Chain A
Amino acid sequence: MKQTTGRTLGIKIGGVEAQAREGDTILDVARALGLFIPTLCTFKGLSAAGACRLCMVEVRGVPRLLPACATAVADGMDVTIDSPKVVAYRRQVIELLLAERNHICAACVANGNCELQEMALKLGVTHTRYPYRYPVFKVDASHARYGFDANRCILCTRCVRVCEEVEGARTWNVMGRGIRSTVATDLQEPWGRSTTCTACSKCIHVCPTGALFEKGRAVGEMQKRENVLPYLSSMRSSGR
């Protein structure tokens, strides 16, 4: 968890001179100033994962791009949040996410309530330059109430983090490498046979896409309730 010492730092972000507390991330500062940096894997109240690479920004003097959600500010930092380079990069990230799995929005439970879809729209991604890979992932519908469709998963690991950090169940984990990597329940047992899952539904509601859903939902009906964690997120963001 993030530690703030309270020491005040001066930085420049998106052309604005700003003050930040030591331990804040670039994303924290940007959000406090009302500056938009697109994100997908970050979730208020959960640790930073730096998984989606959507929040990449340029820091003067650093040759590579840095994830705003997982980079702490340093005194005198000069951050560019919307150079043509990062804008192009972010679009490419969305395109790759869409091409990587099977995103058939019109048949998806999350259609209209999906952060990936919304982000694509916001960043003006209307098609992908990359061929769809059409991987074959089996849907896990063994749980009595929930389903997991890896075909819609963007590996943001929100489910993994909420399950471990908030619910304390540690049912979800990441397994496999590269294009075959996926999140899995327990030791890749069918979810319905998991001995750790408490059926709390937190993973369902933090999942940004249609990958985790309540069974019985028809297309476009999976409304995520992101405020399922109000108590915990306020506790965590206050740093206690």
Chain B
Amino acid sequence: MAKHIIIDPVTRIEGHSKITIFLNDQGKVENAQFHVTQFRGFEKFVEGRPFQEMPSLTARTCGICPVSHLMAASKACDDIMAVRIPATAAKLRRVLNLAQMVQSHALSFFHLSSPDFLLGMDSDPVARNILGVAAKFPELAQDGIWLRKFGQQVIERMTGKRVHPAWVVPGGVSKPLSAEVRDQILADVPKALTIARRTLEWFKPAIKKFEEEISTFANFPSLFLGLVTPDGSLEHYDGFMRIVDSNRKIIADKLESSAYAHHIGEAVEPFSYLKSPFFKPLGYPGGMYRVGPLARLNVCDRCGTPLADRELAEFRKLQEGAVLSSFHYHYARLIEIVYGIERLSELLGSSDILSTQVRAVANPNKSEGVGVSEAPRGTLIHHYRIDPDGLVTWANLIIATGHNNLAMNRGITQAAKHFVTGKKIAEGALNRVEAVIRCYDPCLSCSTHALGQMPLQVQLRDVEGTVLDEQLRE
């Protein structure tokens, strides 16, 4: 059957966001909070479902990074089945995950954030979008569109579907890769690399114009969390969790994903539905950490591919220790795009990539499973428990936006203190506060909206709590 109708009540699960900026009695910004409202309890929703459904069910919760949920969920299912998936299946999943990262980073960088860099933070909001970029900088816009399509096409070619592919399954993948698809993807690699490098060459000098933003966009010491390979290289699919401090000193290493709960606590704040994870040994909120592209580059010793490693060496020169400004998430994203393309072409070139042994079959052999992978936005943790029949009794998901919750709050507070003055929120200040959120590229419906706009409510309140100003972005 060529067409499917999708009847899909799960799309009810979505996030809405709101920022409140609080002034103190001197009328200066005291604090800012990022609230996620109406975040439907996904964990409740999956109770009683066969665990094999988890990859597709969790992928449905997120329209932007379904592939990431497929990864973490399938890995949690592999764990429940207690199987080691065939080597080729792991490689194919890796390729898919990298392709997802490339397309997602391209979307974030070109479509959502490049208007700020190219047209200016204070430019007219009506034209401050990818169309505005296309009008003034057509080549760059085309590059962005092409690169995103490259990633999407890899996903579509490998899985047969662009959105919600059911190809990644518990135990591996459902179909082996064909030589034809491999060759199609490899044929596009040189152009993709050229574009990624060209963009970096343009962006690196361009950031000099943003000194003020760099120093105030969530620029503060924090921990960073990300996966690394056993030898400490950049990792997105498997490996161990590592935590470094703001000096890039490793403070926890080789953490098994199954033991995440020993290291990560989850605080609940009344102002947000999103839990606030923290590194347990340092307590709450001192154990605040960041995840995502910036964190991954801060935690790893090297990327492990030639071009990306050269870029990483230059990136490290930005700052002694860890790179702290969240503004540099953008820069890190571009380096990761280069890495992703290099690495996926390397994987596709391996001799066993067309092997037909791509799936391990087993009944559930454990009552609990954890899967951790790196989504474009950061570390993604899926943890399920099942009953003896294989039905899910409990699930816990920590998404990248959750990990970054504390840091986002700190970040918008910092930016608001610097840019918001008086009793009104000026357009430029509003955009900068939003841009801090965009640095983290949070995976809420707000970041899916095309053209760089997010449905976001921003309120300015005085010390009594009276609303002084309110802005709504649809």
Contacts and interface: CB of A to CB of B under 8 A. Distances in A.
A200 interface: no
B5 A105 contact: yes
B379 interface: no
Contacts of B164: 106
B52 A112 contact: no
A142 interface: yes
B9 A105 contact: no
Interface stretch (A47-55, A79-87, A114-122): A114-122
Considering residues A107, A118, A121, A221, which has the most beta carbons from chain B within 10 angstroms of its beta carbon?
A107
Interface in B196-239: none
A134 B390 contact: no
Bin the interface of chain A by size: 35 or more
* List of 8 A-B pairs having minimum Cβ-Cβ separation, nearest first: A141-B389, A218-B169, A219-B56, A107-B56, A219-B166, A107-B57, A220-B166, A107-B53
B390 A102 contact: no
A139 B49 contact: yes
Nearest to A215: B390
Given A98-B7, A111-B166, 20 more contacts: A102-B9, A104-B8, A105-B7, A106-B10, A106-B60, A106-B164, A107-B56, A108-B53, A112-B1, A112-B4, A125-B5, A138-B48, A141-B50, A141-B390, A141-B391, A147-B50, A192-B389, A215-B390, A218-B170, A221-B174
B8 A106 contact: yes
Interface in B88-103: none
A18 B7 CA distance: 40
A89 interface: no
A126 B60 contact: no
Given A112-B4, A118-B1, A139-B391, A218 B9 contact: no
Interface of B: 1, 3-10, 48-50, 52-53, 55-57, 59-60, 164, 166, 169-170, 174, 361, 363, 389-391
A103 interface: yes
A117 B4 contact: yes
Nearest to A143: B389
Nearest to A190: B389
Contacts of A219: 52-53, 55-56, 166, 169
Given A141-B391, A147-B50, A218-B166, A126 B56 contact: no
Contacts of A113: 1
A2 interface: no
Nearest to B387: A141
Given A139-B49, A218-B55, A218-B166, A126 B390 contact: no
A216 interface: yes
Prevailing SS type, chain B contact patch: loop
A112 B56 CA distance: 14
Most chain B CB atoms below 10 A, which of A111, A121, A216: A216
B350 to A, nearest CB: 25
B58 to A, nearest CB: 9
A141 to B, nearest CB: 4
A126 B57 contact: no
Contacts of A215: 50, 52, 363, 390
B341 to A, nearest CB: 29
Contacts of A147: 50
Given A104-B7, A105-B4, A147-B50, A216 B363 contact: yes
A121 to B, nearest CB: 5
A121 B50 contact: no
Nearest to A141: B389
Nearest to B389: A141
A107 B60 contact: yes
20 contacts: A104-B10, A105-B4, A105-B7, A105-B8, A107-B60, A108-B53, A109-B52, A112-B1, A113-B1, A121-B4, A132-B9, A139-B48, A139-B49, A141-B390, A149-B50, A215-B363, A216-B361, A218-B52, A218-B169, A218-B174
A128 B9 CA distance: 11
B170 A134 contact: no
A112 B8 CA distance: 14
A216 B4 contact: no
A104 B60 contact: yes
Contacts of A139: 48-50, 391
Contact of B56 (A106, A121, A132, A136): A106
A97 to B, nearest CB: 11
A217 interface: yes
Nearest to B77: A218
Contacts of A125: 5
A74 B56 CA distance: 50
A18 B126 CA distance: 67
B48 A217 contact: no
Contacts of A105: 4-8
B389 to A, nearest CB: 4
Nearest to A149: B50
**Which of B3, B10, B55, B389 is most buried by chain A, counting CB atoms within 10 A of its CB?**
B389
**Which has the most chain B C-beta neighbours within 10 Å: A117, A127, A216, A218?**
A218
Contact of A216 (B10, B49, B52, B59): B52
B419 to A, nearest CB: 42
A138 B392 CA distance: 11
A139 B392 CA distance: 10
Interface string A128-152: 1000101010110110000101000
